[in-house]
């Protein structure tokens, strides 16, 4: 078997996100196959959700049902976005997932040391790091966030208890500062327009 490494796609170049995306896609498939799921990722930004032991059997049963549905419906595409899903049973909302749910979640309670809080759940950060080390995946540890009901992912604050997605405090301050700087100048070059447009477009995902 021959492996070719493209040394020309430096991080920051236009095609680099897609190049890394293929590697990250492979990594997420391995994590899911090992029962470390649910998880989602955007380029190099990953989010893992751990489930309490008492709910694990029920969740795996739901995964089986979803997998049967997705196998019959197939992978769907909206623009450049690939997804699995369908309308809810009452057709009131679209249920969308980024995986086909083909692998059951595993209870990794005895695989690594854990805190009293983590004893309630099927996996913890040590389980993720253990597999990551085997795969040679290096995380930016400074960006790690502990498991909790509310967390920041792709610049948004996801509150699972309230079922609300909002712009994070950090992003809000950053974008407001960009708007203030914009108003201080009478003229702007194309790059200024593109940068502000990109920031405001990002907020549109959570603004009704």
Mean pLDDT over 8-32 rounds to 72
Cβ-based burial of 130 (10 A; exposed 0-12, middle 13-18, buried ≥19): middle
Specify the residue for token string 């194309």: 190
Mean pLDDT over 49-58 rounds to 95
Cα 68 to Cα 102: distance, rounded to the nearest angstrom: 9
Q: Which residues contact 152 (CB under 8 A, 6 or more apart)?
A: 145, 158, 168, 170
Question: pLDDT at position 198, please?
Answer: 92
* Neighbouring-strand partners of residue 46: 41
> What is the percent of the chain where pLDDT is above 90?
54
Query: 71-76: long-range contacts at Cβ-Cβ below 8 A with a sequence spacing of 24 or more?
Result: 71/100, 75/100
Write the DSSP symbol of residue 103. S
Higher pLDDT, 11 or 198: 198
Question: pLDDT at position 173, please?
Answer: 94
CA-nearest of 44, 47, 8, 4 to 24 is 44
Using one digit for the tens of pLDDT, what is the confidence trace for 80-126?
777 888 766 665 666 788 899 999 999 998 888 889 989 999 999 99
Question: pLDDT at position 95, please?
Answer: 75
Whether the predicted pLDDT of 22 surpasses 80: no
Question: pLDDT at position 112, please?
Answer: 86
Using one digit for the tens of pLDDT, what is the confidence trace for 143-183?
889 999 999 999 899 999 999 999 999 999 999 999 999 99
């Amino acid at each position: 078997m021959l492996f070719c490494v493209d040394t020309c796609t430096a991080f920051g170049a236009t095609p680099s996100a897609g190049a890394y995306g293929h590697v990250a896609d492979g990594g997420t498939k391995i994590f899911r196959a090992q029962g470390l799921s649910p998880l989602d990722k955007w380029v190099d930004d990953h989010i893992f959700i751990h489930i309490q032991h008492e709910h694990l059997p029920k969740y795996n049963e739901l995964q089986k049902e979803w997998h049967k549905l997705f196998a019959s419906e197939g992978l769907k595409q909206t623009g450049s976005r690939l997804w699995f899903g369908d309308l809810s049973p009452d057709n009131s909302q679209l249920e969308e997932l980024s995986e086909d749910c083909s692998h059951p979640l595993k209870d990794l309670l005895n695989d690594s040391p854990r805190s009293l809080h983590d004893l309630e759940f099927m996996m913890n950060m040590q389980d993720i790091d253990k597999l990551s080390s085997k795969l040679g995946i290096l995380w930016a540890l400074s960006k790690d966030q502990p498991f909790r009901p509310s967390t920041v992912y792709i610049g948004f604050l996801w509150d699972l208890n309230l079922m609300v997605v909002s712009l994070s405090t950090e992003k809000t301050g950053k974008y407001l500062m960009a708007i203030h700087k914009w108003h201080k100048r009478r003229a702007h070059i194309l790059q200024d327009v593109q940068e502000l447009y990109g920031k405001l477009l990002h907020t549109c995902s959570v603004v009704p």
